[in-house]
Amino acid sequence: MSPRTTNSTGWVGWVYFAGILMIISAIFQGLFGFVALLKNELFVVGPEKLVIVDYTAWGWIHLVLSVILLTAGFSVLSGGAYGRVVGVILASVGFIANMLFLPAYPVWSIIVMVLNIIVLYALVVHGKEAQA
């Protein structure tokens, strides 16, 4: 049996960076969820900019996404395929969601969209390099 060879490049660091970004994003999603559940007047924006039907449901969605993203981030850091797949899906959904938030929070939305693109690139192109 021959030893396993790996073709790691400098991009493997970006894959780990993507995993760390996913964990940080999970923390922020959890905070947004708690804010939506406990103090929903912080999310009030003019009626023409942001429409959210139920703040309680919005908060629970953020909390569930936070748990999924947290487990996926740790999976990426350990080289698991689950984390890469979930990371690509959630980064894509996050990109689209932040496009919807552009009128309400333009600077923050653009920053998060750029971070989602970095996560997508690192996981799709170089994600297999971090495999255990």
- Quick one: 72 exposed, middle or buried, by C-beta within 10 A (0-12, 13-18, 19+)? buried
pTM above the 0.75 mark?
Answer: no
Question: What are the mean pLDDT values of the chain's consecutive 10-residue runs (132 residues total)?
Answer: 57 84 87 78 56 69 89 90 90 85 81 87 81 63
Yes or no: say if 30 and 68 are a contact pair by the CB < 8 Å rule: no
Place of tokens 């007047």: 41
